[in-house]
Chains A and B, each alone.
Chain A
């Protein structure tokens, strides 16, 4: 069964450093998402992406964040200058269509900012 994959599984970085989290969505999916979950808290939406453009973003997704689909398979989330409060699990998801279609999530990348 096709699945969303994410790398690395765990990333440790120092405050102020840039990180790139990578995702490979399911191959025939067209819509891509990033969510995050701070330890013990809810899963929060960050951004959705379609047709090489951001289609929706949350207040969390400020200028420090960016997303890119550099080739036909990868989908990345970049945090330019990490802060302690960016420490969280970051989940990538993809869906074949929008709105009513189910989203398939990856296993997540645990980001630890020290």
Chain B
């Protein structure tokens, strides 16, 4: 089962932090948690990924629960350009394919 569960939509104000949650209760021990986003009229864009430890990069931070059944993508200061659909995916095992759900549509208000 490659499904993850995310809220359909969230809103944020510009320059405020945003926490995007994801549940992946059926994750296996070898699955990584990947986050991608899709800006309007563009292809998906890699954001961040992790296995067990929290991760930081120039775009975002990823906080992974100790039991790995959930994770949170953190945008530290949302900008208007961060308005996009954010996808949380389990990735690993015997497959190379990314399985996208419907994601979370993030709206950023000025």
Contacts and interface: CB of A to CB of B under 8 A. Distances in A.
Given A33-B96, A45-B99, A56-B95, A100 B49 contact: yes
Contacts of B102: 42
A56 B97 contact: yes
B64 to A, nearest CB: 14
Interface residues of B, number: 22
A91 B43 contact: yes
A68 interface: no
Contacts of A44: 100
A75 interface: no
Interface string B85-106: 0010001110111111110000
A58 B96 CA distance: 11
B97 A99 contact: no
B48 to A, nearest CB: 9
A104 interface: yes
B92 A43 contact: no
A102 interface: yes
Nearest to B103: A42
Interface string A72-106: 00000000000000000101010100111011111
Contacts of A106: 43
A25 interface: no
A31 B43 contact: no
Interface of B: 32, 34, 38, 42-46, 49, 51, 87, 91-93, 95-102
User: What are the 4 tightest A-B residue pairs by CB atom distance, in nearest-first order?
Assistant: A105-B43, A45-B97, A102-B46, A43-B100
Given A4-B43, A33-B98, 13 more contacts: A31-B96, A33-B97, A45-B97, A45-B98, A58-B97, A89-B43, A93-B43, A99-B91, A102-B34, A103-B46, A105-B43, A105-B44, A107-B42
